[in-house]
Amino acid sequence: MLEVLLLFGEAVMLFGALGILRFPDVYTRLHAASKCDTGGAMSIILYLVLTMDAPGIVKAKFLVLAFLIAMINPMVSHALARGAYRYGVKPEVVVDMYAWDNP
Amino acid sequence: MSRVPFYLRDRLEALNERVLAERFEASKLPTWERVLLTWFTLLAFWVVITSSLEPASVVSGAVVTLIVALFMRDLLTEDIRRSGHIAEKILYFALIYLPQYLVIMAFRLLESNLKVAKNVIFMDIKPGIVKVKTDLHSDTGVTILANSITLTPGTLTLDVKKKLGETYLYVHWIEVETLNREKAGEKIKGDIEEWLKKVFW
């Protein structure tokens, strides 16, 4: 029954990879990368924690890993998006309020 | 604000900064509580990372983390508000606020994964960058809010800017629904900002 978590994580990772291939520009690709990596990795780690044959303190280590992934992944995607914008990659958007305020 | 003369605007900014700084100083935690909270956090991290409960390891970890906590007490807990006794605060945080946040974020992460899958299949995107105002002032609170916004469905934080004591977030939205700032803020931030305002300054 718990294999649903593993399957869900793998499917989400697959859709994230597809999104990186199919979306048009940097920022929309970062959407796919950040969200799908976080969700898929956390779901796989949750499956491991629930089914692993190990003492509880080792499972707590896995939970620390999940916490670090959930903290660092959005930060890295934010840094990449801001760096790309500062470098001059133009987004394909309908409205760009960031360019209005930073001419 | 653009019609105000320059000297008045400078004065207004200085006054605003002073009021904010005084409110910030008044709502800080006392020193010993900051040291205690940092010490417990670091000790819990130490025990989990070494993954051994032997007395020698735990005692040496406690001594080292106490020394680190005495020096680094402002790094972790500077932005937490003060209200009530410390035991009450810790119980409230551990039993009510933290599970609330975890449940909200788990469902939002699930929803955002499904939404990215839907977008990949149908390619029905209409991206745009919108500007959103927040009521938070502290660095920790704004960081957690920006990270939560990145994990909520269809949004990604681009930049944070502080102006005249107010904080603005630039958010890349994969499907722009409204350009009104208040409505967009409600849609993007949701109830996470309300949650953060109870804990952080």
Check B161 against A101: CB less than 8 A apart: yes
- Same-domain check for residues B81 and B103: no
Inside any domain, residue B1: no
Residue B20 CA to residue B14 CA, distance in Å, equals: 10
How crowded is residue B66: how many other Cβ atoms within 10 Å of its Cβ? 15
Closest residue in A to B168 (Cα–Cα): A98
Rounded to whole angstroms, how far apart are CA atoms B73 and A7? 43
Q: What is the pTM of this model?
A: 0.81
The C-alpha of A101 sits at a distance from chain B's nearest C-alpha, in angstroms, of 10
Q: Is there a contact between B130 and A97 if contact means CB atoms under 8 Å apart?
A: yes
Tens-digit pLDDT profile for residues B18-60:
887 777 777 677 778 888 888 888 888 888 888 778 888 889 9
Residues B107 and B25 in one domain: no
Q: What is the pLDDT of residue B84?
A: 65
Q: What is the pLDDT of residue A103?
A: 66
Over residues A65-81, the mean pLDDT reads 88
Measured distance CA(A4)–CA(A78) in Å, rounded: 30
- B31 lies in the same domain as B98: no
CA distance A25 to chain B (A): 10
pLDDT for residue B57: 87
Q: A1-15, pLDDT tens digit by residue?
A: 888 889 988 998 998
Same domain, B189 and B101: yes
pLDDT in tens, A12-56: 899 888 888 888 888 888 888 888 888 888 899 989 888 888 888
For residues B53 and B41, membership in a common domain is answered with: yes
Same domain (yes/no): B105, B184: yes
| ipTM, two decimals | 0.84
Contact B159 A85 (CB under 8 A): yes
Q: Which residue does chain A place closest to B155, by CA atoms? A: A31
Other Cβ atoms less than 10 A from the Cβ of B120: the count is: 21
pLDDT, position B45: 86
Q: What is the span of the domain harbouring residue B59?
A: 6-87
Domain C-terminal end among B72, B87, B102: B87
Residues of A in contact with B146 (CB under 8 A): 74, 78
Under 8 Å CB-to-CB from B103, ≥6 apart: which residues?
Answer: none
Mind listing the pLDDT tens digit for each residue in B61-83? 889 988 988 888 777 777 676 66
B143 and B97 within one domain: yes
DSSP state of B135: S
Distance CA B104, CA B96 (A): 12
Q: Are residues B60 and B106 in the same domain?
A: no
Distance from CA of A3 to the nearest CA of B (A): 17
Q: Which residues of A touch B49 (CB under 8 A)?
A: 61, 64
Choosing from B29, B55, B87, the residue where a domain stops is: B87
Cβ contacts of B61-67, under 8 Å, gap ≥ 24: B65/B39, B66/B39
Cβ-based contacts of B53 with chain A (< 8 Å): 57
- B81 and B152: one domain? no
Domain boundary residue, one of B50, B69, B87: B87
Any residues with CB less than 8 A from the CB of A101 and at least 6 apart, and which? B131, B161, B170
Tokens of B83: 């209200």
